[in-house]
Amino acid sequence: MIDLQKYQQEQSEKGYHYPYTVQLLLENDVKLDREKLPENFVISESESIENPVEIFSSSIIQTWDWADAEQAIAKTKTVIEISDGAPEALARKDRLQNFHNVVLSILEIAQPIAIHWLPSQRIVNPQRYKEDLEAGGILFSSAVNVRMFKIEQSAERIMDKMGLTALGCIDVQSVFINLEPSKMGLYLYHLAEYVFERGDVIRDGDTVEGM
């Protein structure tokens, strides 16, 4: 099974995540029919794990939109990993769309209790994931995540968007004080959407409109 910290460090050094990987967390073991699986993707057999809350703790901490994520993770007995095989020829939107399509197809078979989205470091509710995609949320259905950190002995906070680097774009970050985190999160959300749509258009020394 992929080690989250090692994976993120290696992919950050490369500039983007290759391959793009998620983990389906299952309460029961599932055997996949290889003949019915999508081509050009690497889909592992289910692998048993122990101490899932400890293993996925760094992503649980940064999952803000699912209050019961830890309870779901605690039930995890096995994991299936899904990675794209040869995405270099695809534009980032096509790559992400294809990946979502594959994940959705495996969800119907495996029925996971949670999804660990490695590039964005978050735990995703499978039911909400499907609902978001049906509503047209192709990019932000798990592909990016708002993370927040508090600087010790300071009123400053750091908030960033994680997940764009995995798709060949820059991720965005802000250091702020005396601002409402929810508003800063929404601001970074829209900025990340702009970067995803336009590409690597923000250069050193450029400024963007504030809140």
197 residue type, one letter: E
Helical segments of the chain, H only: 4-14, 52-55, 57-61, 69-74, 92-110, 126-134, 181-198
Q: What is the pTM of this model?
A: 0.84
Which of 160, 195, 190 is closest to 174 using CA atoms?
A: 160
- pLDDT tens per residue across span 33-73: 887 777 778 888 889 999 999 999 999 999 988 999 999 99
d(CA 45, CA 126) in angstroms, rounded, equals 19
pLDDT in tens, 76-115: 999 999 998 756 667 888 888 889 999 998 998 899 999 9
